[in-house]
Amino acid sequence: MPEFKLTSEELSMLSMFQGMTGATARDCVIDEKMNRVIFVVPKGQMGLAIGKEGASVKKIERALRRPVEVVEWADDVEGTVRNALGAKYVQEVRIGDRLDGTKGVVVVVDYRKKGAALGMGGRNAEKVRLLLRRYHGIGNVQITSEL
């Protein structure tokens, strides 16, 4: 796993998240491109982090004044993809070596649900890219569908 350092802004957001939800967050990713904050929580803490009917997330969104997304931690690439996109959309995750020596990931989704899997403006695809680059050193993610 590549090393990364948290900024003071990310650390303060982590502290706020933990104080408001009671869930421990493993990481906080500030996505300037999509103007949102992504919190990564340990396995089994999604419910606590989101709160009843999303109350905890809404409270944090009001405090931060930007959208907040919560993703459950996974140790492997496939788990990270499934947790970030939503397991119901992902049919298959293929990890391969590219010609330039880097690793790439191809995510196969149902063609009828490809739009939902990508998200508005590609926000879900971007979330997967951010998390895979941060935790597994993989920058190339392709989301495709097969008939």
Is 133 part of a structural domain of the chain? Answer: yes
Is the same domain home to 142 and 81?
A: yes
- pLDDT score, position 146: 82
What is the C-alpha to C-alpha distance for residues 3 and 77, in angstroms, rounded to an integer?
16
Is the same domain home to 126 and 103?
A: yes
- pLDDT score, position 2: 60
pTM check: above 0.85: yes
Looking at 30, 53, 72, the residue that finishes a domain is 72
Is the same domain home to 87 and 36?
A: no
**Per-residue DSSP letter, 112:** G
> What is the CATH number for 28?
3.30.300.20
Is the same domain home to 43 and 95?
A: no
Token representation of residue 142? 């392709």
Is the same domain home to 142 and 82?
A: yes
pLDDT tens across the length of the chain (147 residues): 567 789 999 999 999 999 999 999 999 999 999 999 999 999 999 999 999 999 999 999 999 999 999 999 999 999 999 999 999 999 999 999 888 888 999 999 999 999 999 999 999 999 999 999 999 999 899 999 987
Please state the domain count of the chain.
2
DSSP H or E segment with residue 30: strand 27-31
Strands 27-31 and 36-41: antiparallel
Is the same domain home to 140 and 119?
A: yes
Is 86 part of a structural domain of the chain? Answer: yes
Least Cα distance to 71 among 60, 61, 82, 55 occurs for 82
Range of the domain at 91: 77-146
Looking at 72, 87, 119, the residue that finishes a domain is 72
Is 89 part of a structural domain of the chain? Answer: yes
CA 125 vs. chain centroid, Å, equals 9
Is 2 part of a structural domain of the chain? Answer: no
Looking at 57, 72, 87, the residue that finishes a domain is 72
- pLDDT score, position 25: 95
